[in-house]
Structure 1
Amino acid sequence: MTVTAQELSGVPVDHRDGMRILWDVPVTMDDGNVLRADVFLPAADGAYPTLLSYGPYAKGLAFQEGYPSAWETMATQHPDVVEGSTNAYQNWEVVDPEKWTVHGYAIVRVDSRGCGRSPGFVDHFSRRETQDFHDCIEWAAAEPWSDGNVGLSGVSYFGMNQWLVAATQPPHLRAICVWEGASDFYRDASHHGGILSTFWQHWYDKQVKSVQYGLGERGPRHPVTGQLVCGDETLSDEELAANRIDFGAEVRAHPFIDDYHRDRTPDWDRITVPLLTAGNWGGQGLHLRGNVEGFLQAGSEQKWLEMHGLEHWTTYYMDYGREIQLQFFDHVLKGRDNGWAGRPAVQLQVRHLDDTYEERWEEAWPVPATRWTDLHLDLTARSLAAEPAAEPGSLSYDAMSAGVAFRTEPFAEATELTGPVAAELRVSTTAADADLFLTLRAIDPDGNHRSFVGAVDPHIPATQGWLRLSHRELDPERSTPYRPVHSHTAAADVVPGTTYDVQVELWPTSLVLPAGSRLELIVGGRDYADTSLPPITMSNFKNQMTGCGPFLHDDPEDRPESRFGGTVTLHAGAGSACLLRLPVVPRTT
């Protein structure tokens, strides 16, 4: 093929808004299936480092059209997101090409197999999808507009699959930037503490089926090109169903870590490229744990962790996040001596009770100065105290109820909690099994619960954790006193009336409590819900936001009352461990 000024990668060049754009470029996979990609290039001819994303949300669906409530909130509250761009090419959870091509990058968006304009069978995070991603990286590196150096960038799904493909070690992959992307498909995403998350079924219905390849004329049109976003074929509902897995049923069918989950979780030792991983303090349920674990587990010698707040898409587009990414990629893809090499390993936006943040740098995670502090549950006083109760006691609650709460005394001085949180409990149940839902809340000096802007939900607690009693077995090689890791490979016996010692992982948090504040721990048997909130909905989620976002655990098949009902009893005192372990970081200001 002869390449001219009017054609690249086999398609015409469209000159728009200071970019050269290649629409719907064919990318042939090893099995002959042809995926479709859009490529955005700087105005000047040349070979550029490439930032690539691969995912199911349809490259032709405008952010503003597909996710209007999220876009409106972000654009209104953070005007730097929309400044300096026409915003005509904005796409959900991937970079704005107008803000990257000017810095000498080629931007590639690939519709994953079966989604958008790429035909094929939809099977999320599968080996087939990961192989496609691998082949797209190698395809891009060989194109005339690429200098052979490929980096990956994107939020959530576009981050989760980066862990997987990096472990396949594509020869031309040079770096990954995983923004709020889970890394352990079981523990971070599908089963929290062994309890099924119904998020994936609802997400599939709202965000994938709505842009599946084959919707054709029934789907949207590209706002710039007028192309059908979901392919030129219009298939029947039966044909569409035959071209996709039943994702909710697939996840439900694998209640333990098996080959299904292992295929969707990376081999950490094989991730060796430089990486930047960014998590969200308000991301309980999907957008937090995996970024921390990826930073800790990946075999890369060059790796950096950033932790922030706000909605999970917002910081990625703000100048704050974009400039961090640009400095990272300029260093690892262009070899620029821009100060990144001397950057500390961990950048934290430490959260305050009023939902403001202060920046701090650390050399490691958890924070090296952490003082691990145990607060003991007093079951009689329903308090959290520095010393265990002198006398043994017990406290019972309805096994599927909101549960019982325990509060500290007011803190005498400002206290910072930044890091992982854990609980040790002694529990029994009258039923065949029990689900433990732990919620940590902040109470201000006036006695009011203070919520925070979450990754998805606008009102979330300080942190949350979960554990199914039959999943209490620990992975001894990975567990620490402050971060228990459960094996989740088989169910342990639960004998009604028998008392069991369990450790519960609560996801990392960051919180500065002013003097006079308290902490409250809720131990219950269902998802946390802030009953004081008005009805809150978002355009891309089915459920109302009540403090857990869309990450609920309400599947009747997974949690039948016949198995999980009854009464749960907590036991403490006389040498029985019943405590909350907190990461207290000394304040220097």
Structure 2
Amino acid sequence: MRIEWDVAVPMSDGAILRADVFRPDDDGAHPVLMTLGPYGKGLAFQEGFAGMWQRLAAEYPDALAGSSNRFQVWETADPEKWVPDGYICIRVDSRGAGRSPGLLDMLSPQEAHDYYDAIEWAGTQPWSSGKVGLLGISYYAANQWIVAALRPPHLTAICPWEGFTDFYRDLNRHGGILSRFGQAWQDHQIFTVQHGVGERGRVNPNTGELVAGPPTLSDAELSLNRVETIGEGKRRNVVDDFSAARTPDLSQIEVPVLSAANWAHHLHTRGNFDGWDKVASTQKWLEVHGFEHYAEFYTDYGVALQKRFFGHFLSGEDTGWETQPPVFLNVRHVDGTFEQRAEQEWPLARTQWTRFYLDDGALTTTAPASTTPIDFAALGPGAEFWTPPLSQPLEITGPASARLRIASSTTDADLFVTVRVQDSDGREVSLVSAIDPHGVLGVGWLRASHRELDDAASLPYRPWHAHTREMPLTPGDPVDVDVEIWPTSIVVPTGYRLGITVSGRDYEMPGDGPWPVLYGIENRGNGVFVHDDTDDRPTDVFGGSTTLFTADGASSVLLPIIPATDEG
């Protein structure tokens, strides 16, 4: 393998970004796999994300097998697993990050144009076949959607692996409620490798060079060299030009797409489904898996899927991709296992959309005629509704929604709708999610003042909120709200119970822990994607009492029930 460190990549405005290039040890022309982003191309996975690396090594040994792992970097492909197959792997530090000088402006139009320039540079080098593919997780997936919408001529195929598509709805605000993840992520993962951190940062173990250097700047200088992206998102309560500029027009994407989603990632899940649905590409595939969000990207399962896709589109190989189903699901079971299933569409055409009504603690398919309204403290555990023990297995796979009639003692209310399952002994069922080892099974969020729908974009199972204005409540007056519940999958066995919790705060798994902590946030079912920022949720507005009305079927959830096959 030939490795070139800190290669100069010229931008159209005269700026220079720095890239590491890993390519076969020959003089041939090969297809390119690229990432561009702010995580520091020289920051070793084992050092920068030690906890994740240790779990990957312990739980998924195949992810590390067959490689020295010397060049492993967080959320990017391992060149030792790709270069021997005739690919060139290129990692570019985005402007203002790592070894690339300039203004750090995450997910901005400037970054998108830089990515465009980098793709075109790679596609025209003498060692390049002219075909460039994009492959990476999270941020390295999210900005794939953005640059692909600009249609760089040499961009040939993309595989966004668990990456959001909507800056406002996916990253910053769930249903209009601020997610605290963004600030913690930015401070811990981005600003620590901003260009100019220099000697206060890490060292690339392969080169001995500073990951975020060579200059070492003061805090004041670093602050002047970046846009406070998450701070801006916090300040802006509704969708405006700032978030719109960082959200791609998915209809402009025409290259082949393999969108790989995780059932339980409260940053990325919705984006991978939405991206697959809205791209204009005639060749597009959706794959859905579970486990930690970094795991399957590196396992034999994930790498084999990626190689079949890129082998077909970048290398022209007969990988059997012609027979790949448009949708490939790993359906979740309560014991943590998965059932692999090929499908032809999403949502599944055979879905039996079933409305379950909330009725005095019960979850029933019959609308209650008359019930007493339920009051709960907005910052308390909320109200629970359960089916009787199931007489036969029940599969829920797809997007879902809730329609609630509520009133608040204040001018607003945050609503959290959580899908739950209990076993025959009343024990809570949780599954490994993308971030949390005890993740909730499904969840949706909405700030009541953001209840206005975009009727043209809404579907019964996927209400689409405009988020362009706030509509305060009149204390005590009921309103109807629709809550989007992100796509999920769970097969509930016989004897178990299906439940829904409606609350005014994040649902927390029962028990005394100890619970994992990441970025100073305790993971109790929702990982780091919690909604407890006191600036966004002042107690005088969001700490009141919420009333839920259930009479005449006023409050219900619409769930995607998949009928059992003849094989059971």
Q: Same fold (TM over 0.5)?
A: yes
**Deviation for aligned residue 1:366:** 0.5
Determine the C-alpha separation between the residues in 2 that align with 1:499 and 1:259.
32
Q: How does 1:265-276 map onto structure 2 within 5 Å? A: 265-276=247-258
| The one of 565, 569, 589 aligned to 2:543 | 565
Indicate if the aligned counterparts of 1:440 and 1:520 stay in contact, CA closer than 8 A. Answer: yes
Give the equivalent residue in structure 2 for 1:83.
Answer: 65
Tell me, what secondary structure is at the counterpart of 1:334? coil
Give the equivalent residue in structure 1 for 2:313.
Answer: 332
1:172 aligns to 2:154 (yes or no): yes
Indicate if the aligned counterparts of 1:287 and 1:312 stay in contact, CA closer than 8 A. Answer: no
The Cα offsets for residues 222-254 of structure 1, whole Å up to 9 and x where unpaired, read as 111111111111111111111112233211122
Give the equivalent residue in structure 2 for 1:110.
Answer: 92
Indicate if the aligned counterparts of 1:116 and 1:230 stay in contact, CA closer than 8 A. Answer: yes
Indicate if the aligned counterparts of 2:428 and 2:510 stay in contact, CA closer than 8 A. Answer: no
Indicate if the aligned counterparts of 1:436 and 1:467 stay in contact, CA closer than 8 A. Answer: yes
Tell me, what secondary structure is at the counterpart of 2:129? strand
The Cα offsets for residues 96-146 of structure 1, whole Å up to 9 and x where unpaired, read as 000000111000000111111111111111101111111110011111111
Q: How does 1:411-430 map onto structure 2 within 5 Å? A: 411-430=390-409
Q: How does 1:444-483 map onto structure 2 within 5 Å? A: 444-483=423-462
Give the equivalent residue in structure 2 for 1:8.
Answer: none
The Cα offsets for residues 293-344 of structure 1, whole Å up to 9 and x where unpaired, read as 0011111111000000000000000010010000000111122232212211
| The one of 337, 341, 357 aligned to 2:338 | 357
Indicate if the aligned counterparts of 1:201 and 1:247 stay in contact, CA closer than 8 A. Answer: no
Give the equivalent residue in structure 1 for 2:286.
Answer: 305
Determine the C-alpha separation between the residues in 1 that align with 2:230 and 2:278.
28
Coordinate RMSD, CA, aligned: 1.1
Give the equivalent residue in structure 1 for 2:75.
Answer: 93
Determine the C-alpha separation between the residues in 2 that align with 1:228 and 1:338.
40
Q: Which moved more, 1:81-90 or 1:22-31?
A: 22-31
Indicate if the aligned counterparts of 1:53 and 1:110 stay in contact, CA closer than 8 A. Answer: yes
Give the equivalent residue in structure 1 for 2:558.
Answer: 581
Determine the C-alpha separation between the residues in 1 that align with 2:381 and 2:513.
19
Q: Which moved more, 1:331-340 or 1:343-352?
A: 331-340
Give the equivalent residue in structure 1 for 2:497.
Answer: 518
Q: How does 1:529-548 map onto structure 2 within 5 Å? A: 529-537=508-516, 541-548=519-526
Determine the C-alpha separation between the residues in 1 that align with 2:139 and 2:219.
25
| The one of 232, 235, 245 aligned to 1:253 | 235
Residues 536 and 223 (structure 1), Cα distance of their counterparts in 2 relative to 1, 3 Å cut = farther
Q: Which moved more, 1:240-249 or 1:433-442?
A: 240-249
Determine the C-alpha separation between the residues in 1 that align with 2:482 and 2:198.
50
**Deviation for aligned residue 1:204:** 0.8
**Deviation for aligned residue 1:533:** 5.0
The Cα offsets for residues 47-68 of structure 1, whole Å up to 9 and x where unpaired, read as 1000000011101000000001
Tell me, what secondary structure is at the counterpart of 2:514? coil
Give the equivalent residue in structure 1 for 2:210.
Answer: 228
**Deviation for aligned residue 1:271:** 0.5
The Cα offsets for residues 148-167 of structure 1, whole Å up to 9 and x where unpaired, read as 10000000000000000000
Indicate if the aligned counterparts of 1:159 and 1:178 stay in contact, CA closer than 8 A. Answer: yes
Give the equivalent residue in structure 1 for 2:381.
Answer: 402
Q: Which runs of 5+ in 1 are unaligned?
A: 1-18
Q: Which runs of 5+ in 2 are unaligned?
A: none
Tell me, what secondary structure is at the counterpart of 1:507? strand
Determine the C-alpha separation between the residues in 2 that align with 1:345 and 1:415.
24
**Deviation for aligned residue 1:31:** 2.0
The Cα offsets for residues 461-520 of structure 1, whole Å up to 9 and x where unpaired, read as 111110000111111112111111111111124111111111111111111111011111
Determine the C-alpha separation between the residues in 2 that align with 1:534 and 1:516.
27
Determine the C-alpha separation between the residues in 1 that align with 2:202 and 2:106.
22
Letter in structure 1 aligned against 2:165: S
Indicate if the aligned counterparts of 2:362 and 2:386 stay in contact, CA closer than 8 A. Answer: yes
Give the equivalent residue in structure 2 for 1:375.
Answer: 356
| The one of 340, 343, 355 aligned to 2:324 | 343
Determine the C-alpha separation between the residues in 2 that align with 1:62 and 1:338.
32
Determine the C-alpha separation between the residues in 1 that align with 2:3 and 2:556.
58
The two structures have a TM-score, normalised by structure 2, of 0.98
Indicate if the aligned counterparts of 1:39 and 1:107 stay in contact, CA closer than 8 A. Answer: yes
Percent identity over paired residues = 50
Indicate if the aligned counterparts of 1:200 and 1:247 stay in contact, CA closer than 8 A. Answer: no
Give the equivalent residue in structure 2 for 1:280.
Answer: 262
- Superposition misfits of 4+ residues, deviation over 4 angstroms: none
Determine the C-alpha separation between the residues in 1 that align with 2:510 and 2:30.
52
Q: Which moved more, 1:289-298 or 1:391-400?
A: 391-400
Letter in structure 2 aligned against 1:463: G
The two structures have a TM-score, normalised by structure 1, of 0.95
Letter in structure 2 aligned against 1:244: R
Indicate if the aligned counterparts of 1:429 and 1:496 stay in contact, CA closer than 8 A. Answer: yes
**Deviation for aligned residue 1:446:** 2.0
